[in-house]
Structure 1
Amino acid sequence: MLLDSRIDKAGVRICSRCIYDERVASISFDENGVCNYCHQVDTLKEQYGTGTPEGERKFAAIVEEIKRAGHGKQYDCVIGVSGGTDSSYMVYLAKKWGLRPLAVHYDNTWNSAIATQNIRHVLGALDVDLYTHVIDNKEADDIFRAFFYAGVAEIEASTDLALAETMYRAAYKYGVHYVLEGHSFVTEGITPVGRNYFDGEYIRSIHRRFGNMPMHSYPLMTFERFLWWSCVARIKKIRPFWYINYSKEEARAFLEREYGWVYYGGHHLENRMTAFFHGIYAPGKFGADFRNNTLSALARIGTITREEAWARYNTPPKVEDELLSYFKKRLRLSDDEYQRVMRQEPKCWQDYPTYKKRFEALRPLFSVLAKASLVPMSFYLKYCFPAAEQR
């Protein structure tokens, strides 16, 4: 039976093109039942020429620009690496394009052994140097614990922001003006601002209220630092997969064949905190399953059918054995304390101080910066417009 735009059993309306449903933040549907996020993807593909000769030409010009800017320097670009598919393949492509990348890793001390091994294998084979910022493990756990006690979904927010700050710092240290990011809106989508917000004030405000130790080794990106990186240092964020044709499945097969790279079992599962968030925390406390981002993207491009995407979405997420026990042990939570917090009424980022209103007020500035690749276009689209109330 074909998947209709309404699922009778669930009683929710579903996009007629992907599997985003009416529970997704700020979603709307046109007269044909297509959601606004599918239209957003169409607009971006047209803007960037994704996977077309025009997109390839645009990106080829960027590569030449990177080479000119990096002439005479040890490195001409920075690439954040996690041990996952996209970032690992990005390093390979950078070398193929004749670039001299510096790989950058933020270690939140929750890496899986597979991720660490993947980073070592790929960088070793490609002769790429690694710059790593390692946070004190007790400090990392204190920040994670603070977000858990705050009752918000963004338990991993500190990792996302710290990686961005670490890449900026590494780029500035070596006089590099280009950061390459391995994100593809075609294969991953652009996650709606629902329960996935992060900025420096959000992290700082929650840690002040629920944390127990000072943040000394954590690389916090404040609003002022963000503007400085973008407007003064003028470090550009480039996402090659927004321009060129990219297949995650083909990239994974290539990495396995050429570098002994090992698949870690699912999207974002290379880090144990990320795996906890996707497999246990988000579904258990918020009834949220962020697999719909990737599954919707795959349905849009026809890699899988909408029926298959919806079927996968309605199966339990993969959870590593002993992952919950590991989480509770690392954060020093008793079984009772863990259950108490999980049963509490969920909070959202709108309940705590953030920079969101500043981003909205400066939307014209960030529009200019996004078009110049000085801030990610996804940041502008997600953070610089009013968001629906989340409860």
Structure 2
Amino acid sequence: MTRAERVRLSAVVFVVLFTQLLVYPGVDRLVAALGGAPTIDAGTAFLSVQLLAFVLFSAVWGAISDRAGRRIPFVVGGALGGTVAYLALAAIVLLGVGDFRTALALRFVEGTFTIGAFSLAITMLMDLDGGHGKNMGVAGIAIGGGAALGAPVGGQLYSFGPLAPILASAALLLLAAGIVSTVPDRARRDDRKLRESIGSLRRTPTLIVPFAFGFADRFAAGFFGLIGTFYFRDAFGLDPAGIGLLLACFFVPFALLQYPLGALSDRIGRVVPIVAGSAGFGAAIVGVGVAPTVPTAATGMVAVGVLGALVAPATMALVTDLVGPMERGAAMGGFNIFGSLGFLGGIVGGGWLASRYDYFVAFVVAGGIEIVIAILTLPVLLRVVPDPTATFRTGK
């Protein structure tokens, strides 16, 4: 049953990321429909408020789940809450109620719910047997696949109107709630108080290593999600559909290679994929920023996707390696806090750099962060995993 459960849980993870990225290619159009100005600043605010909710509530959902010894009711609740929030966003335009400030508040509420569905679905994959790298590779495929398809499909949906991605997101989250209801709940109850469950993150300081890499990887994803959208429009004159396809050059290989490269980290250890992948990942990001044509930019985006796929499942698997079964919800919640901070930093920081300086500076900083984190955390990583080729063939 493990394989079937992997498929269903990965579908839930996929849906949440897919719906998140649907709005990105034409976010300026959506913001205008919701009563805001179609500028980088307004787009940054709309995307960032969701990520702020991710940061504030990711570990809370995880700790509550650990404490209850159940995951499914919270995943279902998160998906249904997200559905209602998306429908409320559409109502601002369709019924003429509220303004852009109301839209930002609803976007925050949506993020509060959907991070629960996302983080706990990944945690349910952590609860399965079969090898942490392999299970996190499946999660990575879902994350990358959702992001890969979300951008180009979102670009196409905008041709039907600015609300099309919002309405599609509501329907898909409702479907996700139904899917997760068919999966066995394998969580183990944590009898400690909620505060103590969240405090388990402090008792495992070595988690800072995968958290740091998670921050850097999501920084790049957020950066491309917003700044890539405006950069590809301004530099190459692309429309939302073309932008979505160029973003897909990153997200498609990032998705397809997660499972085999995650399984590879089970065989050769976590250190080499994390360090080598991060350093190359950063250099490839800078390369996209200096690409003179669409084909060369697309080639650079493919390189970013391949190297990102080398890093992502290994870092998530390292989280599972470092904590016990009863602390996985809080640990993955912590990982998603750092990931959301990275995504938020990529959007806000990238937008600020592009507005204050230029796109080239923004690309250099985005790539440089990845390289610097790889260098600074390498000594700590080698202490966490004294044998760089340590393998993790756990479970079936």
- Structure 1 and Structure 2 fold alike (TM over 0.5): no
Whose relative contact order is higher, 1 or 2, with alpha carbons under 8 Å and at least 6 apart?
2
TM-score of the superposed pair, with normalisation by structure 1: 0.24
Q: Which of the pair is proportionally richer in helix?
A: 2
Tell me which protein shows more strand as a share of its residues: 1
Provide the TM-score with structure 2 as the length reference: 0.24
